[in-house]
A and B are shown apart, each in its own frame.
Chain A
Amino acid sequence: SAVISQKPSRDICQRGTSLTIQCQVDSQVTMMFWYRQQPGQSLTLIATANQGSEATYESGFVIDKFPISRPNLTFSTLTVSNMSPEDSSIYLCSVGGSGRATYEQYFGPGTRLTVT
């Protein structure tokens, strides 16, 4: 399985500011995904980040609010822009496709964001 780290692990931000979350994987992966977990809720996919192409966003999520970069096969960033208290969530990256076709996704530890 892949080992995934995220930075920062948590942050408290003022409304109107932006935060960039980093996701680093210890091996090359074809697929990277960004999910949001609102307090006490399940996970919802924000976007799929493929290297060398634009991220694909799910309904209800837009690039201006959640720009994503995927410069190589081991790294991605998610920016939460112009934050409001409603953006307070845990943001998790997941990866898949690091070798054998197992079709499972591995998750990072998450970034806990609080917007005041």
Chain B
Amino acid sequence: AQSVTQLDSQVPVFEEAPVELRCNYSSSVSVYLFWYVQYPNQGLQLLLKYLSGSTLVKGINGFEAEFNKSQTSFHLRKPSVHISDTAEYFCAVSLSGGYNKLIFGAGTRLAVHP
């Protein structure tokens, strides 16, 4: 079975500062990895995904993530955050090879302060 651990439930940061949201996963088989963002009272929006190939993936809104197989991590980073990045961020994993169910982490609330 797969599982996802998001190490920080809340991350406060000042505007224009860099941020890293941490995600570790557990799986005995090959997986796909995703980061989603949920703005207040909205559905989930896909930020980026890792399927295979280059371990550094770039997504929307200036976010990027690095897949580290040895550490089973998929941390999300942004070099300079904006107030508008304030939201809940979810890391998710699915079995590779098809459209399989997503298993989500508990989420990290990013709060960007002026």
B11-19, B66-74, B78-86, B104-112: which lies at the interface:
B104-112
Give the docked Cα–Cα distance between A44 and B103 (Å): 7
**Structural contact, A103 and B101, CB atoms closer than 8 A:** no
B42: chain A residues at CB < 8 Å are: 109-110
Q: List 12 A-B contacts (CB under 8 A).
A: A1-B46, A30-B99, A41-B106, A42-B90, A42-B106, A43-B44, A43-B104, A92-B43, A103-B32, A104-B46, A106-B46, A109-B42
User: B residues touching A (Cβ–Cβ < 8 Å)?
Assistant: 32, 34, 36, 41-46, 49, 51, 90, 94, 96, 98-99, 101-107
**Structural contact, B104 and A42, CB atoms closer than 8 A:** yes
Contact flags A24-42 to B (C-beta < 8 A → 1, else 0): 0000001101010000011
Query: Which one of B41, B44, B51, B90 lies within 8 Å of A103 (CB-CB)?
Result: B51
Known contacts A42-B107, A43-B90; decide if A103 and B99 are in contact (CB<8 Å): yes
Q: Within the complex, what minimum Cβ distance (angstroms) separates A21 from chain B?
A: 13
**Structural contact, A108 and B101, CB atoms closer than 8 A:** no
- Interface residue total, chain A, C-beta cutoff 8 A: 27
B34: chain A residues at CB < 8 Å are: 104-105
Among B42, B46, B96, the one with the most A-chain Cβ atoms within 10 Å of its Cβ is B46
Give the docked Cα–Cα distance between A1 and B32 (Å): 18
Give the docked Cα–Cα distance between A109 and B51 (Å): 25
Q: Within the complex, what minimum Cβ distance (angstroms) separates A103 from chain B?
A: 6
Q: Is A66 an interface residue (CB 8 A)?
A: no
